[in-house]
Amino acid sequence: MTQVQLTTATAPAARPVPQSAAKTTLADALPTETETETELTHLLHFEPLTYQGAGLDIPCDGQGRVGLDALGDKLRNDYFFARALIGRLFDKPTVKQALPMIHA
């Protein structure tokens, strides 16, 4: 009969963190309320692939980033739905300039 010797595995050595790595706090990474209000001047437009379908516009910033926390439940669900069906029901989204609201 062959005997097997069991050894304990050692953890790999941790890599040192470079001193030049910039530390960013979560508060610094999140936009402030005034930045969010001024940046949402564009719409992420999902164009339907068929003539019968309806397009979908989601508020976003100039680079197409959507603030999910600022969306209501229905609009957030619509956004996830459209994103999931790119290539089947919707074309790739495009960023459009939002038209200013006219107050009467």
Element (H, E) at 34: helix 33-39
d(CA 71, CA 79): 9
- Whole-number pLDDT of residue 38: 47
Q: Are the CB atoms for 76 and 58 separated by under 8 Å?
A: no
Does residue 26 register a pLDDT over 80? no
Own/partner pairs for 80-89, CB < 8 Å, 24+ apart? 82/46, 82/56, 82/58, 86/46, 88/49, 89/48, 89/49, 89/50, 89/53
Please report where in the chains the tokens 């999910």 appear, as a residue.
68
d(CA 72, CA 91): 23
Q: Which of 9-23, 67-81, 88-102 has the lowest mean pLDDT?
A: 9-23
- Whole-number pLDDT of residue 104: 63
pTM above threshold 0.85: no
Please give the average per-residue pLDDT across 26-37, as a whole number. 50
- Whole-number pLDDT of residue 36: 46
